[in-house]
Structure 1
Amino acid sequence: MWQQTPCFCLVLSTIITGSLVVSLDMKVAPVVTVPRGEDAVLSCSFTHPRQQDYSGQIIVKWLARESQALPFFSCSIKNDSVEEPSGCSGSGLRYSLRGDPRRGELSLLIRQVHDADNGTYFCRVELDGWWKTLQKETHLYVTANPQILNLSVVETRSGSGGATQRLRCEAEGHPLPTVSWRSASRSLSEDQVQTSQVGPFRLVSSVPYQEEDVLTCRVESRLGGAERRYPPGNSLLIGLTACGLIVLLLLLLVTGFIFYRRNRAPPDTSPVYGNADVVENHRLQRSDCPAEGDVELQAVYSVLSLNSVVYSPVNLQQ
């Protein structure tokens, strides 16, 4: 009986220990895709069987590129603490935790991701005592819409020592876009196009160029496309001309409206004999003048209409 007891305890210990190890687990998102310039959240969470009565430290670490690299972010908090974790989050921090480690939340917030943030990350949690360290990897994929950075003519040296001109198109995007060329005057063969990658998000392509050529560089990926023409078209001149015509048309409309309003002004309805007082005074003055002979000139008037008065001199015989 005593010989069986140690064996029974060993089996029981193995079962309990095995169940605890199985209960200790971590989950991460395999891939997180975020456009360049936006915030990224690398999700990570863990569980352990003694979450309710564990009172030790929870140490959170995030590593980049290699599983044994030094952590670029680290913070800790006691599981039974009621205080806010210090150094784990903040509005001014580029890296901060999105959640509470006491609830098993270890997600990392990266603000305004850029090209260099693209790559592999490792979420790690360390607990006090005999608990093992947990670590899993996740991948951040930073996307960028295709765009043309520069389109210009450069001179290159040929094998014979002469100089030739090539039209060089610099483009970027993630995933890397494909480059195609179009010519308005001639056909371009594949061996004339030279394309090479100069960075994780950037490439350069060039074709032979002659002064009379009109060439278009186009870049495309699953996120969209962009193109540019060389030499540049007269789009700016056309736009300015259109704006000038619109302004001229508005001026003509305003001028015509003002002219129309002036011509429609109401006529002056004041009576023709508005100076009747002056005429009457003049008549009285003439009647007071001394008579020449037996003839006296006096002004008389007759009303022909409501709005007109006609004066006529007549001879009155004494």
Structure 2
Amino acid sequence: MTGAALKTLDLNMQVWPSSLGSASWKMTVSSVVTASRGEDAVLSCSFAAGEEAYSGMITVKWLAREQKPAPFFQCSVKNDSVEAANPCKVPGSKYSLNGDPRRGELSLLIRKVQLADIGAFFCRVEVDKAITWGRKYLQQKIDLYVNAAPQILSVSVVETPCNQDSSAPSWLQCEVEGNPLPKVIWLSASRRQLENQGLTLESGPYRQTSCVPYLAEEAQVFTCRAESRLGDAERLFPDGDGLRIILIMCGGVLLMIVTVTVILIYCLKKNRRQQSSNSPTDGAQELQIVYSAITFTSLRR
């Protein structure tokens, strides 16, 4: 995560009445914060107190997208002792303060940022008395930018044509996501780029869908590849499980063919050996059947 373009709002110079010139309060923020998807991000925000002592409540609010919506994060602490527990730290929560408001620390910790977090945030601090700063709050804007390496969300066969001018009966559709938006490339089973790269359309923020004609009966194998300056991602279709099933089935059929072939060869060889053993050898005489007459004589007493 990197911060950029620190800017300072000096209320003593811009909005304070001249009678309050002795009290100088400043809010400092990082105008742009960049983080990577899945990492923690800290939106840097702080304020500095002037000579005037303040022992009342300090309320920190963080707002998103607009300057006047309901805050998505809020906490309050009395500015009378820094020894007391800090109620603005929320362990395990997506949002928490990365510091103690009693020390002027208002930075927001966002755990495991996602693309949905991209946008404008507003750091706001409020006090009890308007006379303290000439008004009851200070507020400044911070833009959060999230880098995201390419991800392939899904690869599937669809019947709805991706191109209305095409007569293809079915399409292979690949949906990808990333920031910056990745480029989609289709590869054949031999890892060559397809001549027909189909049609690519944006399907949402930081997402796009690419389609190519697909003939399921030809058992085609394609690879959807997504590329950007942050990296690349690939997915095979049919996927690993589907391809493994196909290979297992083909292997089973091949094994069956080999087994039947071996059995046939064995039976043919055995039959030939039997025929060879039943035929006379050279110089040997064949066995002849000899018939003899048998006479029964009756015994007389």
Measured in 2, the distance between the counterparts of 1:174 and 1:67 equals 25
Contact 1:156–1:163 (CA under 8 A) maintained in structure 2? no
Greater alpha carbon shift after TM alignment, 86-95 vs 126-135: 86-95
Q: CA deviation at 1:35?
A: 2.4
Select 1:204's aligned residue among 189, 202, 209.
209
For residues 227 and 88 of structure 1, do their structure 2 counterparts lie closer, same or farther at Cα, with a shift above 3 Å needed?
same
Q: Counterpart of 1:26 in structure 2: which amino acid?
A: M
Q: State the match for 2:140 in structure 1.
A: 136
Structure 1 stretch displaced more, 158-167 or 137-146? 158-167
Who is 1:299 aligned against? none
Residue 233 of structure 2 corresponds to 226
Normalised by the length of structure 2, the TM-score is 0.63
* Structure 1: tracts of 5 or more residues without a match: 1-12, 241-318
Show the counterpart of 1:172: 177
Distance in structure 2 (CA, Å) of the matches to 1:135 and 1:167: 50
For residues 93 and 231 of structure 1, do their structure 2 counterparts lie closer, same or farther at Cα, with a shift above 3 Å needed? Answer: closer
User: Residue 150 of structure 2 aligns with which residue?
Assistant: 146
Once the 2 structures are TM-superposed, how far is the Cα of residue 91 of structure 1 from its aligned partner? Answer: 1.7
Would the aligned equivalents of 2:63 and 2:71 in 1 still touch at CA under 8 Å? yes
SS of 2:46 mapped into structure 1: strand
Paired residue type of 1:155: E
Which secondary structure state, in structure 1, belongs to the residue aligned with residue 151 of structure 2?
strand
Quick check: 1:31–1:138 contact (8 Å CA) kept in 2?
Answer: yes
Q: Sequence identity, in percent?
A: 55
Q: Report matched runs for 1:48-59 at 5 Å.
A: 48-50=49-51, 53-59=53-59
- Look up the SS of the partner of 1:29 in the other structure: strand
Residues 189-248 of structure 1: CA deviation (Å, up to 9, x unaligned): 4xx6211222223221001223365533221112101223445589969xx9xxxxxxxx
Equivalent-residue separation in structure 2 for 1:108 and 1:164 (angstroms): 52
Shift of 1:86: 5.2
Shifted more, 81-90 versus 30-39: the winner is: 81-90
Residue aligning to 2:44? 43
Deviation at residue 117 of structure 1 after TM alignment: 2.2
Seen in structure 2, the aligned counterparts of structure 1 residues 66 and 162 have a Cα distance that, compared at 3 Å, is same
SS of 1:156 mapped into structure 2: coil
Note the C-alpha offset of 1:76: 1.5
Which is greater in Rg?
1
SS at match of 1:164: coil
When residues 72 and 155 of structure 1 are mapped into structure 2, their CA distance, relative to the original with a 3 A threshold, is: same
Opposite residue 179 of structure 2, the aligned amino acid is H
Amino acid at match of 1:149: L
- Count of residue pairs brought into register by the alignment: 222
Q: The residue matched to 2:71 in structure 1 has which SS?
A: coil
3-state SS of 2:160 partner: strand
For the aligned residue pairs, the C-alpha RMSD in angstroms reads: 3.3
State TM-score, norm by structure 1.
0.60
Of the three residues 193, 202, 224, the one matched with 2:198 is 193
Residues 160 and 18 of structure 1, relative CA distance in 2, 3 Å threshold: closer
Match of 1:155 in 2: 159
Query: What is the CA-CA distance between 1:112 and the residue it aligns to?
Result: 2.5
Q: Which consecutive unaligned segments of at least 5 residues does structure 2 have?
A: 1-15, 249-301
Map residues 57-68 of structure 1 onto 2, 5 A cutoff.
57-68=57-68
> Secondary structure of 2:144's match?
strand
Instruction: List per-residue Cα deviations over 1:271-297 (Å, max 9, x = no partner).
Output: xxxxxxxxxxxxxxxxxxxxxxxxxxx
Displacement of 1:88 in angstroms is 0.9
Q: Structure 2 vs 1, CA of residues 159 and 88 (structure 1 numbering), >3 Å: closer, same or farther?
A: closer
Per-residue deviation, residues 110-160 of structure 1 (Å, max 9, x unmatched): 223233322211000112321222101112223322122222322235869
Cα distance 1:159–1:110, how it changes in 2: closer, same or farther (>3 A)?
closer
**Counterpart contact for 1:76–1:85, Cα < 8 Å:** no
Secondary structure of 1:102 counterpart: helix
